[in-house]
């Protein structure tokens, strides 16, 4: 779920997987598997990816619909 959202976010913002892979140190094939929801994404990897994208992990989780704070 979050991987698919990150993939769309990257595409919409013109961010290449290779750039994220280089910034995070996550091998390209592993990053691709996470973005395609074929491999579980560890929390530390998620935070590294968000840092590489320059976005808040909470913002991405909210936009992806996986984080909700009741009012």
Q: How far apart are CA 69 and CA 6, in angstroms?
A: 21
Q: How far apart are CA 71 and CA 38, in angstroms?
A: 34
H/E run at residue 9: helix 2-12
In tens digits, the chain (71 residues) has pLDDT values of: 899 999 999 999 999 999 999 999 999 999 999 999 999 999 999 999 999 999 999 999 999 988 776 66
- pLDDT at position 68 is 73
Three-class secondary structure of residue 18 per DSSP: helix
- Specify burial of residue 3 (Cβ count, 10 A radius: 0-12, 13-18, 19+): buried
Q: Which domains does the chain have, with CATH numbers?
A: 2-64 (1.10.260.40)
- pLDDT at position 12 is 96
- pLDDT at position 48 is 98
């Amino acid at each position: 779920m979050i991987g698919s959202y990150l993939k769309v976010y990257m595409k919409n913002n013109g961010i290449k997987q290779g750039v994220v892979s280089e910034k995070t140190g996550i091998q390209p094939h592993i990053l691709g598997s996470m973005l395609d929801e074929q491999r579980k994404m560890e929390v530390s990897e998620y935070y590294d990816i968000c840092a590489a994208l320059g976005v808040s992990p909470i913002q991405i989780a909210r936009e992806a619909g996986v984080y909700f704070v009741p009012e």
